[in-house]
Amino acid sequence: MSHQEDNVLGAVGETAIDPKDKELVIARRAKSRVRGLNHHAYYCSDVEKTRHFYEDILEMPMTIALRIPDEVFTGKASPYCHFFFEMGDGSSIAFFDYPDFYDGEPPFTVPTVYHHHIAVNVDSDASIEYFRARLEAEGYACTYVDHGAFHSLYLKDPGGMNLELCYSPPSAEEFMLRAEKVAHAELKKWAATRN
């Protein structure tokens, strides 16, 4: 065993593992309303370099590229592109190319959800409402957005991190299959009009 393995295993002690421990973990996870990572989003300023890195080098297929004409929260005409690269478990790393917010701005100075956020899947619209009530009762401001293919609740955690709780209704599966077919064409259209 390596020194680091000793360090890590030493940190959890010599506690005996009961054969039922794994079953308890599976049962605990099944009860959770938060089902897993949907996507982790960040911004980029060069869509083709970003696409090449994630898709061609890391071999993560680009499955969604959305050219969106209006800012979601205000409705202001402010076009941007939001695109996603899929991992083996179905979750994604996603990016925003949002010229109105990012052009000329250094990382970590853009104070919007588009800058950097983590989205986690929840199991239903009822869970979004459940969490909204709990969060608001604790003083957390939340914004609900029906994106059509999925429903989201946006908020900041106690440390200021942007968080999205995301539910994908049954129609999301059809959206995902269609989006994958046009993702490359949509990203090319965006890049052509970006400059």
Burial 114-139 (b: 16+ CB within 10 A, else e): bbbbebbbbeeeebbeebbeebeeee
Q: Does residue 137 or residue 5 have the better pLDDT?
A: 137
Among candidate residues 95, 104, 82, 107, the one with its CA nearest the CA of residue 179: 82
Choose which CATH entry (3.40.50.720, 3.10.129.10, 3.10.180.10, 3.40.50.920) describes domain 22-194. Answer: 3.10.180.10
Sheet containing 62-70, strands listed edge to edge, beginning at the edge strand earlier in sequence: 62-70, 77-86, 92-97, 34-43, 116-122, 162-167, 151-156, 143-146
In the structure, how many helices (H) and strands (E) does the chain have? Answer: 6, 8
The rounded mean pLDDT for the chain is 84
- pLDDT (0 to 100) of residue 107: 47
Rounded average pLDDT over 122-150: 92
Q: Give me the pLDDT at residue 110, please.
A: 47
> Would you kindly state where each structural domain of the chain is located, as residue ranges?
22-194
Q: Quote the pLDDT of residue 108.
A: 46
19: phi then psi, degrees, rounded to nearest 5: -55, -25
Q: Is the pLDDT of residue 55 over 70?
A: yes
Asked whether the beta carbons of 119 and 40 are under 8 A apart, the reply is yes
Encode pLDDT of 77-112 as tens digits: 888 899 999 988 899 999 888 887 666 654 445 455
CA–chain centroid gap for 181, Å, is 20
Give the Cα separation of 39 and 95 in Å (integer).
10
Radius of gyration of the chain (CA): 20
CB atoms inside a 10 Å sphere around CB 96 = 22
